[in-house]
Amino acid sequence: AFHLCWPELAQIKDCPITESAPIQTFVIPHSHMDVGWVYTIQESMHAYAANVYTTVTEELSKAADRRFIAVEQEFFRLWWDTVATDSHKKQVRQLVKEGRLEFIIGGQVMHDEAVTDLDDEILQMTEGHGFLYETFGVRPQFSWHVDPFGASATTPVLFALAGFNAHLISRIDYDLKDAMQKNKKLQFVWRGSPSLKEKHQIFTHTMDQFSYCTPSQLPFSNRYSGFYWNGVAMFPDPPKNGVYPNMSLPVTKETVQAYAKTMVENIKQRAAWFRTNHVLWPWGCDKQFYNSSVQFNNMDPLMKYINQNSKEFGVTVQYATLSEYFQAIYQSDLVWELRGSEDFLPYSTEPHQAWTGFYASRNVLKGVARQASSQLQAAETLFTRYRISFPDGPVAKDWALDKLRALRWAVSEVQHHDGITGTESPTVADMYLQHLMQASMGVDELLAALFLLPHNLNIPSILGSRSHRKGALEQHVIAYNPLAWNTTTIINVTVTFPTAAVFDDDGQPVPAQIQKSAHSSVTYDLFIMVELGGLQHRKYLIKFSEKLCSGRSKCGRTYKAKGVLFERRNIRDWLKTGRRLLPVLNECYKLMFDQDTNLLHSITNLQGKMTVRMTQDFWEYHTNGDVKAGPISDNYIFSANGSAVRAYKAVEMEIIPGKIVTEIRQHFYREESDKDYTYSITTRVPECFGSRLQCHRLEQTYSLGPLHLNTEVILRTSSSLKNNRTLYTDDNGYQMMQRTYRNFTNNTLARNYFPMVRAAYIEDDCSRLVLVSDRAHGVSSQANGQLEVMLHRRLWNNLPWNLGYNLTLNDSSVIKPTLWMMLGSISATSKLYQREAIELQHRPVIMPIDQPREVVLPPNLHLLSLSIPGWNYSSDHDVHLSKDLHSEPDYDRVLLRIMHLFEEGEDPELSKPVTINLKDVLQGIGEVEVLEERSLTGTWNITSLQRWKWRTADTLETSENYFVFAFTVTISPKEIRTFFIHFASRNF
């Protein structure tokens, strides 16, 4: 969504033409359509989006030289399914066949690049690509990432894996773009992954300072709509007379010369910034082309006039798709500069406009989106296993696929760059939440059906008749591990009884612990230690009692934990600290808490024998809400009034020692006399059971809010680590990026904030402190040894633009995010943190179903996807193009993705390539009969995928190891391999 003032067009004199060849201009008609932002998807469909595709289809069909690129699939699919007539569909098929209507990116949305997770980026692209390939037999090969706020190094890697030939970005730091423009360095070959290097590099075009919109200022007119003859879209309804506000002057005999002069001057200005004689001239902007007859009928004569006078102007113009532009650049056969794995984050548009606030905006939405994604992944694997084991089971496959598709769509939609970013209006945020929650409830129904219904006639439901004896205080719990790793972990079940005993499916007592809940006075937390195989579920029986239990048979192995309360400490009394330290130990750590402050004092890693001084507490940045008083913070931008100030005046602490987990609850009070706390940290220190439980994982859940207005709250972890303010954060959960602290003339604080999607850490020569997260946050190291995470924001400002679009962030919610903390040597934490981040995201699902065999991958591989997409296309391209397009969903084709978690050289053992036999690995699911390797989104057979090879100074011939011999595959560091699998049918 664009909302910045355009740089005024410089007064450029007509330049003498020094080259014989005129500048070749590729006019690319497009409409930027936000999948939610200010208006909901339905409002946008009604006001303009449906009209874009209806009128563009009609207008392209009238003249052979016209072109259009379609970007956001959600709008196109809604139009195709609910608006397009048979005649429109026939026209679209013809236009696509002729290459005059081109699908770019092809995902459901133009996803954000800063706060999205790799899993969800792949999902939303796969969702769109499957539809396009099924419907038209086309596979997008170029990107158009014109509006995400900054550019990640993961995106070019994923686009290369999906078979793209070139990548296009726009929003990068203003001063960097300026330097790149002056030095003609806006185009380069990007090697986004340090491990995959040239194997998945991609040519990248950075748009110039005018970005994706046509310059809007016309020197001969008082209208600021430039080359948009259809004017400005109207909400809620299009005007009945077809006259929109701000329609540009029409192109007539009187105006054509002035239009031509303006356009040619702009083309020449741009041409000076690029190395070839080709100019990409995007024609369009937000919500354009809803009345495209007006657009084309004005541009046609203008372009004709310029071409008739091309010798005089030194310019030719032609309608083009993006592929036609990139084809011309590719054929220029230049040697391109290389860019390594650095990214373009954070993004600033002006000295006081660092777009680092959105890393933390709308924490609730960010959390719900990630939970829904995790639930979807678990449901996909379960349904896949069910279909393979019980193809004729009673769970209706069409019904199941509908439930999964609804959640695929909801999770895809919210990845939009005004969705999960939190930069949308409150109405649109509510729409995303509603779609996610409704679809999530549907998948809950699917999970319940997979559990409750007998799987076939010979196998009764796992609950049987004995499970719910009337009046018995019993509850069955099924814990499902959605990962292809064995795990021993603790699950937390909220219960209403003070006493409970837990038994496994063999009737054996299971270690458990019960205590008063951290967040409610009327419930209890029941912690159960569970051991689960990869993709395996186990059943547990909980027997409750209202009385204290007596004897092992009644109590099982449940420990009843009681808390010790420490008196409230006011910060004004913190004169002498560190005199009374209280240890909390497990086999990995010794945590020392200071009874004079009720704060953490230090952590000792017992295995590495290292002690780090460390405190954790909450601080606030206060921000300005009045534009007359200085820079503001808003949904997008973070601009603090000064350094952070302490967010509390008193701290209370309670420690609950346990046999499964010891819990430390710290409550932070805004004022000394406050009855209710505003902030809290609940730290869970797990006990070890032999070598089975991950004792290095310190789980912290926070509670924050409601905040005061114009306040941004951080969790500050201050340590004795000498990190020199250097920080490491992840790009989309795929790879870690080094963030060196930089000083700027303006806004240094905000410009040293970075997105943390799954992980962040600081380190020195001896130790590393790692945080992994269940949702995206902003993160920074503002002082030596400090790691601060921005968790929550509540803002209001009087910027007329924000008020007009209701883009303020008056978020009064109470949020409860989770981080896991680890401390250890660099080599020890390197082995752990990526798996830990995945385990936090994909915690065991507490639900019911029967018990299959386990599926286990080596420790450096991760099962990224195991699903039944339902696509009806043939995986043989030639067959698919000649077949009937209305076949039934295919329930037998399974989509499998496996990812190598480690970078090259990160660990002496775990960074090695891994060879596995998929037939052996997947035997717990069924017998693999057919295995076929595909591109990332599944639409290309890997053997037929030939990407363009761009010339670079060190052009290397790469040999791809895409050979599968007898089901054996080798996966190299950071590789993601995608397969279609068919299992042998089972006869019961």
Residues annotated as catalytic are 147
Order of strands, edge to edge, in the sheet holding 894-900?
861-867, 894-900, 976-983, 928-934
Q: How far apart are CA 302 and CA 295, in angstroms?
A: 11
DSSP state of 258: H
Q: How far apart are CA 264 and CA 513, in angstroms?
A: 75
Residue 172, burial from CB neighbour count under 10 angstroms (0-12, 13-18, 19+): buried
Q: How far apart are CA 703 and CA 815, in angstroms?
A: 6
Q: Which residue has the tokens 């000076």?
A: 272
Token output for 578: 């560190």
State the CB neighbour count (10 A cutoff) for residue 88: 17
Q: Which residues contact 388 (CB under 8 A, 6 or more apart)?
A: 894, 925, 926, 983, 986
Q: How far apart are CA 306 and CA 164, in angstroms?
A: 33
CA dihedral 104, 110, 113, 119 (to 10 degrees): -90
Closest CA to 145 of 186, 104, 179, 96: 104
DSSP, collapsed to helix, strand or coil, labels residue 271 as: helix
**Which neighbouring-strand residues pair with 615?**
718
DSSP, collapsed to helix, strand or coil, labels residue 4 as: coil
State the CB neighbour count (10 A cutoff) for residue 901: 20
**How is the chain split among helix, strand and coil, in percent rounded to 5?**
25, 30, 45
CA 764 to chain centroid: 30
**DSSP string covering 580-632, please?**
SEEEEE-SSEEEEEETTTTEEEEEEETTTTEEEEEEEEEEEEEB---GGGS--
Q: Which amino acid is at 309?
A: N
Handedness of CA 383, 384, 390, 392 (dihedral sign): positive
Interhelix angle 50-60/292-308, nearest 10 degrees: 40
Q: Which amino acid is at 311?
A: K
Q: How far apart are CA 712 and CA 245, in angstroms?
A: 39
Q: Which residue has the tokens 């240890």?
A: 583
